[in-house]
Structure 1
């Protein structure tokens, strides 16, 4: 077989694989993407995207393109057996720059993501090619692809990233256990066009007669998801007469609906025991699969994509040590399990079929509406587990600042030197960023500090209060190689004030890698590079290679 050599092979061109490839394209990594299907699957699949997902698409340069086919800021309601709304979820926060609940149609979103790959000459998408074998050594991965004409192709890659779904061939070839359970009840999903209902929200109907979900999608689509009972044959329930029967209690004339998609699904709650196997990584449904009740299945996969893509890119570029790849397991595995547990809880609440138990559930949840703290907890979606890394590519701080490290940083709008108002990430760029507050700490700092930041390819940005004396002084004498921004929404001011910090080091995925006061900056950046950069990149003059004694800078 002729051999093709590439730095990265992505297996699976669904939304997670295509997002990984788009991010690698932004980072300049030559990438081959393959998918066994010759076309996008036109099935009713994921519909919800959260603020973290939108931030990921923003990093890939595709947020605006994705928004064209989306409905933003959509509420979710949980409805009792008698039709009362006992909980509404509509978060007002945009702390990460986007609304927290947005709806889309996955086939449309996948088209946008695949079209995005066409921007990059160094990224190639090949459809109708299936991975059938792999082996790896200390230097790379050999993958055997079966082409659409039955021939085979050998690909040699530095890293293989598998986003090939819940029935992952890569996971099977690696013999990685897929721990968890398959739920006994099946669900039939029905989509029609020319939406017959005036219900611009997602509703989880906790009806013990037959629990179901009803939601509005873009372009006049409406989806229903009905639970099937034991003995009900899934394929039989997809017959036109059965579909009309299912819909008869919910629309005036089900025979007038134009059903465009209908499919039976079995829900699973599973997590791969390992996400990283030497030079092969699992992402998305290949790594974990969750029931749909909180809309976090695809969102969890997109978190995988962002976490994984920048690490592989920086490793290939020689800026991070290859051992950093193991942090993908540390940072993503526990959180993926937490999301599945939350989805299982929602599903258990929704799926009660005993009338007496359903009545008790409804009475309890209706009573909780009158407790302001609990109502706000639900309304603002504070129950959603937010990732927090205490292990991985973070430099743990001591004292009251410790809780800020390993969390996603806020994304307010900021004002640039030329007067433009942008989201923060669009100013920081695609890589690491050192964001300082009210003080420029780098230009006059030690040469070793600038060397370390350059080795990380970190952009330096100084933020000041809007229209302040400090901003006028810095604008009058701008420091070299430092971008200046003003705190347009007064959000950075409160973040730094509460953190008690003068600077924050942000990873490409916008998690806080380190933070501290001005006098801690050189030592902390030094510690970070010694912990995570390859040895060749940490060689510095003898004068600065001293033991680190600052307890505020502790690599994990």
Structure 2
């Protein structure tokens, strides 16, 4: 890192994506300044759903349990047709990554938790009522001009700037002037929230009624939300009149006059993506990088995937553990998947918001027919239609073995494992932050040179043993010097290795598989990975500590 920088990383935008970035950077030990032009958390109705990948990201930041305190876990989603019949229900049973796939939350409460989490880190600062008004970048860093609410300005020099400043991003639109391709959808939606929930309906419901498509869902602490499509000619300001709001709700609640409406706002749906997520030393994340219609609840979740992918790369580059040119892999890995999620949301919305009654009946008949096909029913029920990220280019290394490489670039599973003394933990918690090399028993010591390279990478060395495979009760299998031992409590790791035809796997800090292989090729493959992605030893490491737990 350039020694002349005031702070290693400047994050612009303290919404959930920006605050998650700052928490992750704090966890990795990186000095960070987080700024936001708004002096307070916005109380608008916004995102409501978090998936298992998002929960794993909060886990990495040490905030999963705190977030769960204000969430409803494992919430089903139902789809109702033109005649009000339920034609599909989605309730994934899998916890492959350690968490449920459908969880509901209140975004203002979540933002409070994320901002409170920053207080854990003396090297992370949050400044509100501070706006970015200009930036310049060169080979050594970014110079940002910040303006306070009183009009005073100051310049900050940072090694990297991460822009999570929303759909109307100042960084993307005003300063970088990047293209933001896609479309703005014709129909707007009015979003209404009330407290003292009047309905006994603990699920998310997509009502695909041609007369007026709408969404209805239960939120924490007695809140309920409705989202209604607006038609051509309906005035935005008139639709928010209290009398009109109650008129919209009247067919769906016992007594609309008794409702206490606390929020109502009109939204426009967008399907857009920036031409590039990386411009020199500036990166875009969340809505600043892409906008997704809300049909499959992936707008914020996609932004949290950005944060999870970007934070560790910035931290490793700043700490001298990753070549600076690897930052481009953030765009390479995230752009295509973000576009895939936007396309899926567009297709979902087109099918579920049909206004033509005949087409709506054909849709309902189709879904009714496929419910009797187990494979198709499981595909819908378990949310297998959601494309999972697969990184074929980036900070990954294929081995030339098809069975193994199909797993490289994918998120690794997260079962329970056992550490010393019967301490059962989720895998990520047992590994701690950073890279991790998991090797099946039996395992041999690593050559000194390779071990040193992995240590510089910030990699923990772990031997994985089958449960209760020691020579006697209370005796654990041996592990080579310098390697810790985890017992595969659920036998899930054993099945993963067997299916992959692998004896070892290298996990990135975001828990994606960086490389995998057999015992015979382990030393050579790991040596190639270290040589490709680790800076030369002569390059100075930053003074800011990174990853004490994993060193």
State TM-score, norm by structure 2. 0.95
Q: Secondary structure at the match of 2:421?
A: coil
Residue 23 of structure 1: how far off its partner (Å): 0.3
Q: Secondary structure at the match of 1:314?
A: helix
Q: State the distance in 1 between where 2:472 and 2:379 align.
A: 38
The more displaced of 365-374 and 42-51 is 365-374
- 1:425 alignment partner in structure 2: 428
Q: Does 1:179 align with 2:162?
A: no
**1:436 aligns with one of 434, 439, 443:** 439
Q: State the distance in 2 between where 1:326 and 1:471 align.
A: 50
Residues 98-117 of structure 1: matches in 2 within 5 Å? 98-117=99-118
Shift in alpha-carbon separation, 1:537–1:353, aligned structure 2, 3 A: farther
Residue 368 of structure 1: how far off its partner (Å): 1.1
Contact 1:319–1:537 (Cα < 8 Å) also in 2? no
- 1:26 alignment partner in structure 2: 27
Q: State the distance in 2 between where 1:476 and 1:203 align.
A: 51
Residues 308-387 of structure 1: matches in 2 within 5 Å? 308-387=310-389
Q: State the distance in 2 between where 1:492 and 1:347 align.
A: 38
Residue 149 of structure 1: how far off its partner (Å): 1.0
Query: Residues 29-81 of structure 1, C-alpha deviation per residue, up to 9 Å, x if partnerless?
Result: 00000000000000000000000000000000000000000000000111111
Q: State the distance in 1 between where 2:212 and 2:384 align.
A: 29
Shift in alpha-carbon separation, 1:473–1:421, aligned structure 2, 3 A: closer
Contact 1:185–1:228 (Cα < 8 Å) also in 2? yes
Query: Residues 429-476 of structure 1, C-alpha deviation per residue, up to 9 Å, x if partnerless?
Result: 1000001112233xx231112111111110011111101147979836
Residue 167 of structure 1: how far off its partner (Å): 0.2
Q: State the distance in 2 between where 1:157 and 1:439 align.
A: 46
- 1:75 alignment partner in structure 2: 76
Contact 1:54–1:98 (Cα < 8 Å) also in 2? yes
Contact 1:97–1:423 (Cα < 8 Å) also in 2? yes
- 1:416 alignment partner in structure 2: 419
Contact 1:438–1:470 (Cα < 8 Å) also in 2? no
- 1:462 alignment partner in structure 2: 463
Q: Does 1:523 align with 2:546?
A: no
Residue 536 of structure 1: how far off its partner (Å): 3.1
Query: Residues 122-177 of structure 1, C-alpha deviation per residue, up to 9 Å, x if partnerless?
Result: 00000000000001000000000111111001010000000000000000210110
Contact 2:469–2:477 (Cα < 8 Å) also in 1? no
Segments of 5+ residues of structure 1 without an aligned counterpart are 540-556
Contact 1:4–1:154 (Cα < 8 Å) also in 2? no
Residue 4 of structure 1: how far off its partner (Å): 7.5
Q: Secondary structure at the match of 2:410?
A: coil
Tell me the matched-pair count.
535
**1:230 aligns with one of 209, 229, 232:** 232
Contact 1:162–1:286 (Cα < 8 Å) also in 2? yes
Q: Secondary structure at the match of 1:224?
A: strand
Residue 479 of structure 1: how far off its partner (Å): 3.3
Contact 1:455–1:537 (Cα < 8 Å) also in 2? no
Contact 2:399–2:525 (Cα < 8 Å) also in 1? no
- 1:65 alignment partner in structure 2: 66
- 1:275 alignment partner in structure 2: 277
Q: State the distance in 1 between where 2:381 and 2:399 align.
A: 32
Residue 488 of structure 1: how far off its partner (Å): 0.8
Q: Does 1:39 align with 2:40?
A: yes
Residue 377 of structure 1: how far off its partner (Å): 0.2
Q: Secondary structure at the match of 2:367?
A: helix
Contact 1:464–1:471 (Cα < 8 Å) also in 2? no
Q: State the distance in 2 between where 1:397 and 1:333 align.
A: 24
Query: Residues 301-332 of structure 1, C-alpha deviation per residue, up to 9 Å, x if partnerless?
Result: 00000100000000011111000000000000
Q: State the distance in 1 between where 2:97 and 2:140 align.
A: 38
Query: Residues 193-220 of structure 1, C-alpha deviation per residue, up to 9 Å, x if partnerless?
Result: 0100010000100000000000000001
Q: Does 1:86 align with 2:93?
A: no
Residues 391-402 of structure 1: matches in 2 within 5 Å? 391-399=393-401, 400-402=403-405
- 2:147 alignment partner in structure 1: 146
**2:409 aligns with one of 406, 409, 421:** 406
